[in-house]
Amino acid sequence: MDKPSIKPTNPSFSSGPCAKRPGWSAAALASPTLGRSHRSSIGKARLKEAIDKTRAILGVPDTHLIGIVPASDTGAVEMAMWNFLGARPVTVAAWESFGLDWVKDAVDELGLEPNVLKAGYGELPDLGSVDPAHDVVFTWNGTTSGVRVPNADWISDDREGLTICDATSAAFAQDLPWEKLDVVTYSWQKVLGGEAQHGVLIIGPKAIERAASYKPSWPLPKIFRIRKGEGVNEGIFRGETINTPSMLAVEDYIDALDWSEGLGGLEALKARADKNLSVLEAWAAERDWIDFLAPKKIRSNTSVCLKITDPRVAGLPADDQQAFIKALVKTLADEEAAYDISGYRAAPPGLRIWCGATVESGDIEILTQWLDWAFAQHADKL
């Protein structure tokens, strides 16, 4: 097979931090906020602007509060768990690496005895079995498994417990039913390609009430504290962050939000991710050496995970499959055709290609040619 003659304009297909928006330049981040205190009037105004633009593009109801918090999506999820869990029984659903981390936190750190719903990579557990009297912690889109929740029909409108949703690789690419979700977290380093470090925490009326009526029995570090006095620390949700944020990262987020608004908002962002996935689906349908880890009904349109089905590779021990993947991925990186497309380290051997809104479908099309070529180079040596 001949080596492809063209390369992707942007070969960055990492699942986090993800590709910057098309046309991005550091010059776009020049702002009077840089070098200024985040507590200055201009600093607080920009933080509030980031929150307001988030609300507008995601369609977050006025009943929900939006805060910028430390430590990326992980910090936002753990902030929610540390503040809200313990008031009633809890179910934790896990079908990929980070879901398993939330199980570990609930058991080993908070000392809870959750009902754990597990499924393997590429699958979903029986979410219909979630008790509406329980709080539930779950991932909307499994970044490490390429599996997403197809809908929220399983969440009762009359639930007593809170729904705590890790939506980090779903926000801005998939619909999130706000009336069903009491806590939503994400990091802007994913679908919008923002700089890492900061998380976003969105809480609805039921979670706001929980914060006012319930005080956990465990100690809370300063950067986790949502409660102030007998209610929510509302300053967090006006841009008065708990700790010092990177104003450069905030400017980068606002830049991505402005770009999103210019495209047409959430519908345009979803359409871009869907188109990227469709390019991979059309390509894989005509190949006998590769397939998706997840079936179509629950397949992610952002973190797309693939497995090699060619018997020359699939029949190898797992370690040898990983070695094959590593060599294939290195070849693509050396050719500057694709960076960072190995599957997650704890996932089954395979590839993971980011298809979020900042990726151009034309680059995905070119990537498929390089995937065919790189696979042939290595498989022919087996």
Per CATH, the homologous superfamily of domain 265-379 is Aspartate Aminotransferase, domain 1 (3.90.1150.10)
pLDDT at 250 exceeding the cut of 90: yes
**Strand ranges inside the chain, DSSP E:** 65-70, 90-94, 115-118, 135-139, 141-142, 147-148, 163-166, 183-187, 198-203, 227-228, 231-232, 290-292, 303-308, 351-354
pLDDT tens digits, residue range 138-197?
A: 999 999 999 999 999 999 999 999 999 999 999 999 999 999 999 999 999 999 999 999
Distance spanning both ends of the chain, measured CA to CA: 16
Q: How many CB atoms lie within 10 A of CB 352?
A: 23
Q: Determine the pLDDT at residue 230.
A: 87
- In DSSP terms, 135 is beta-bridged to 90
Please classify residue 296 by burial: count the beta carbons closer than 10 Å to its beta carbon, then call 0-12 exposed, 13-18 middle and 19+ buried. exposed
pLDDT, one tens digit per residue, over 201-216 is 999 999 999 999 999 9
Q: Which one has a higher pLDDT value, 279 or 229?
A: 279
pLDDT tens digits, residue range 313-331? Answer: 999 999 999 999 999 999 9
pLDDT over 90 (residue 298): yes
Look at residue 104 in the predicted model and tell me its pLDDT: 97
pTM over 0.95, yes/no: yes
Q: What is the DSSP letter of 118?
A: E
Q: Span 339-364, mean pLDDT?
A: 97
What are residue 268's phi and psi, to 5 degrees?
-70, -40
What is the C-alpha separation between 118 and 250, in angstroms, rounded?
36
* Domain boundaries along the sequence of the chain: 29-262, 265-379
- The CATH-assigned architecture of domain 29-262 is 3-Layer(aba) Sandwich (3.40)
- Residue 106 binned pLDDT confidence (cut-offs 50, 70, 90): very high
User: How open is the CA angle 158-111-101, to the nearest 5 degrees?
Assistant: 80
Label residue 102 exposed, middle or buried (CB < 10 Å: 0-12, 13-18, 19+).
buried
Averaged pLDDT, 278-289: 98
User: pLDDT of 24-72, one tens digit each?
Assistant: 999 999 999 999 999 999 999 999 999 999 999 999 999 999 999 999 9
pLDDT at residue 64 in the model: 98
